[in-house]
């Protein structure tokens, strides 16, 4: 069989670029295709990333790829009580994703990968039932074929080709957050990520204010897909994320007079990852595989981690010239044993938190410290649960799911 490449990667986001960097460094001839005209543009992201994630990858972020550094987090209860949490764990970067994604992609190119933008994968090619490449369209031109024995879906939320390959990439409304975000200026901040909770503010979700340089901030809101357009709440016009966000802004003394420099809506997976990630000659990585943190909808770090694991496993399969699912399975196993366990604990936490009303949330915020919060975010729930249940035993039924 004559192939054009050893592997074709659909999607030049953090997952696809990281995969390609690793595979190309291991000698593979890799092609990334992306339907966007420019890698990283348009941006549909809050742009927050924990610093330790990059350290884990052994990468030093260039100054152009981030707007400012994050020093910590401020979490605000429905009644306004704040918990400020600042330590090594909460340090991070506010990315400029248009430059960050392009930088990651350029690293792959520097390692030997090739990139084609404005090129959409429209179908998978099969030779006698075996994956042999993808059919693509460049702009509005006629479709053509690019052949490779290995195809990787790093398509993000759409995951159209992965779905064609039989992966369950459809999302139920309950398993997504629908979001709206503005980039706003001026906003005086202390380089903290600010998160605001409350069922009237953001039912089954929260408002985020992420600090950017030059008194700018990404101000966004995400709510559960299942509460979208639900009952009118608190005299508001409706429960769509934009209306709720506008309402929050109107009631915020700083933001109500600030300008909006950019706005967008988006949807992110906050449910269970796919049950399987590989088939013969095909795999799914990053958000396409629903590898997203169900608590905050962060998916950049998980996408990069998945790209690293998958890239190494495919490089091993390449050395054996055998991309059967048996040889690709170590990626799936490694992910499930590592980040997958953390994601499942976060999903459990999400399902518990969404059962709490504002009064419960206010009580919890009055009892726990930043250190308890730190432990909760590391899936060590017991200390916080013990404190809360001691004063509010009626919550034992809901919270016991976290420690059973
Ligand atoms: C409102 C919102 C806010 C968010 N905020 C944060 C945050 O602050 N921090 C964080 O960590 N995460 C955040 N996320 C999630 C984060 O953006 C994603 O999880 C992350 O980008 C996943 O990376 P990826 O490489 O898997 O997919 P993506 O970055 O989505 O990349 C997929 C790429 O595939 C391309 N593509 C898709 N289909 C095709 C096709 N058929 N042919 C060719 N190309 C194709 C797309 O053009 C895209 O470039 C947010 C998401 C949303 C919606």
Q: Any idea where the domains of the chain sit in the sequence?
A: 7-47+96-169+272-342, 173-269, 348-402
In CATH terms, the fold of domain 7-47+96-169+272-342 is FAD/NAD(P)-binding domain (3.50.50)
> Cα of 375 to ligand 1 centre, how many Å?
28
Which is it for strands 92-95 and 66-70: parallel, antiparallel or unpaired? antiparallel
Ligand 1, from 8, 37, 46: best to mutate by most atoms within 8 Å of Cβ?
Answer: 46
Taking the C-alpha atoms of residue 114 and residue 242, their distance in angstroms, rounded to an integer, is 39
Cβ of 158 closer than 6 Å to ligand 1, yes or no, is yes
**Residue 232: per-residue pLDDT:** 46
Cβ of 287 closer than 6 Å to ligand 1, yes or no, is yes
Cβ of 7 closer than 6 Å to ligand 1, yes or no, is no
> pLDDT per position in the chain (404 positions), as tens?
789 999 999 999 999 999 999 999 999 999 999 999 999 999 999 999 998 778 777 889 999 999 999 999 999 999 999 999 888 888 999 999 999 999 999 999 999 999 999 999 999 999 999 999 999 999 889 999 999 999 999 999 999 999 999 999 999 999 999 999 999 999 999 999 999 999 889 988 999 999 999 999 999 999 998 887 654 444 444 579 999 999 999 999 999 999 999 999 999 999 999 999 999 999 999 999 999 999 999 999 999 999 999 999 999 999 999 999 999 999 999 999 999 999 999 999 999 999 999 999 999 999 998 888 888 888 888 888 889 888 888 888 888 888 87
* Residue closest by Cα to atom 41 of ligand 1: 121
Contacts 24+ apart (CB under 8 A), 358-362: 358/78, 358/79, 358/198, 358/199, 358/200, 360/392, 360/395, 361/77, 361/78, 361/197, 361/198, 362/77, 362/78, 362/79, 362/81
Q: Which atom of ligand 1 is nearest to the CA of 264?
A: 1
Cβ of 266 closer than 6 Å to ligand 1, yes or no, is yes
**Residue 230: per-residue pLDDT:** 52
* Residue closest by Cα to atom 33 of ligand 1: 11
**Residue 1: per-residue pLDDT:** 73
Ligand 1, from 13, 49, 134: best to mutate by most atoms within 8 Å of Cβ?
Answer: 13
Three-state secondary-structure class, residue 205: coil
Q: Which atom of ligand 1 is nearest to the CA of 266?
A: 53
> Cα of 310 to ligand 1 centre, how many Å?
17
* Residue closest by Cα to atom 35 of ligand 1: 11
Taking the C-alpha atoms of residue 108 and residue 31, their distance in angstroms, rounded to an integer, is 10
Q: Which atom of ligand 1 is nearest to the CA of 34?
A: 44
* Residue closest by Cα to atom 39 of ligand 1: 155
CATH superfamily of the domain spanning 173-269: D-Amino Acid Oxidase, subunit A, domain 2 (3.30.9.10)
Query: Model's pTM, two decimal places?
Result: 0.95
**Residue 239: per-residue pLDDT:** 77
Per-position DSSP letters for 99-156, written without gaps between them: HHHHHHHHHHHHTT-EEESSEEEEEEEEETTEEEEEEEEETTS--EEEE-SEEEE--T
Cβ of 36 closer than 6 Å to ligand 1, yes or no, is yes
Cβ of 123 closer than 6 Å to ligand 1, yes or no, is no
């Amino acid at each position: 069989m004559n192939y054009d490449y050893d592997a074709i990667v659909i999607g030049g986001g953090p997952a696809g670029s990281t995969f390609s960097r690793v595979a190309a460094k291991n000698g593979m001839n890799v092609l990334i295709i992306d339907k966007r005209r420019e890698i990283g543009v348009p941006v549909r992201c809050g742009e927050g990333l924990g610093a330790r994630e990059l350290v884990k990858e052994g990468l030093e972020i260039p100054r152009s790829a981030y707007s400012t550094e994050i020093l910590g987090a401020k979490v605000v209860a429905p009644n306004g009580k704040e918990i400020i949490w600042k330590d090594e764990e909460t340090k991070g970067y506010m990315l400029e994703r248009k430059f960050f994604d392009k930088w990651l992609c350029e690293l792959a190119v520097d390692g030997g990968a090739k990139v084609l933008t404005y090129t959409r994968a429209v179908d998978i090619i099969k030779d006698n039932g075996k994956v042999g490449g993808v059919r693509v369209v460049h702009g509005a031109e006629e479709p053509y074929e690019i052949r490779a024995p290995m195809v990787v879906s790093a398509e993000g939320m759409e995951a159209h080709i992965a779905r064609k390959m039989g992966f369950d990439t459809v999302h139920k409304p309950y398993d997504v957050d629908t979001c709206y975000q503005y980039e706003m200026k001026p906003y005086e901040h202390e380089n903290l990520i600010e998160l605001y909770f409350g069922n009237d503010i953001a039912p089954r979700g929260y408002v985020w204010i992420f600090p950017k340089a030059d008194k700018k901030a990404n101000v966004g809101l995400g709510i559960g897909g299942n509460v979208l357009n639900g009952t009118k709440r608190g005299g508001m016009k409706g429960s769509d994320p934009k209306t709720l966000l506008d309402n929050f802004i109107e009631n915020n003394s700083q933001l109500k007079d600030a300008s909006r420099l950019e706005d967008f809506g988006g949807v992110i997976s906050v449910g269970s990852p796919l049950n399987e990630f590989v088939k013969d000659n095909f795999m799914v990585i990053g958000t396409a595989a629903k590898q997203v943190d169900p608590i905050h909808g962060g998916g950049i770090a998980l996408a990069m981690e998945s790209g690293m694991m998958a890239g190494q496993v495919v490089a091993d399969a390449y050395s054996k010239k055998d991309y059967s699912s048996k040889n690709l399975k170590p990626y799936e196993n490694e992910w499930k044993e590592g980040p997958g366990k953390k994601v499942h604990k976060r999903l459990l936490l999400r399902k518990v938190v969404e059962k709490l009303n504002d009064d419960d949330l206010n009580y919890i915020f009055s009892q726990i410290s930043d250190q308890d919060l730190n432990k909760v975010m590391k899936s060590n729930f017991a200390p916080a649960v013990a404190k809360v249940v001691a004063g509010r035993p009626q919550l034992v039924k809901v919270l016991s799911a976290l420690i059973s």
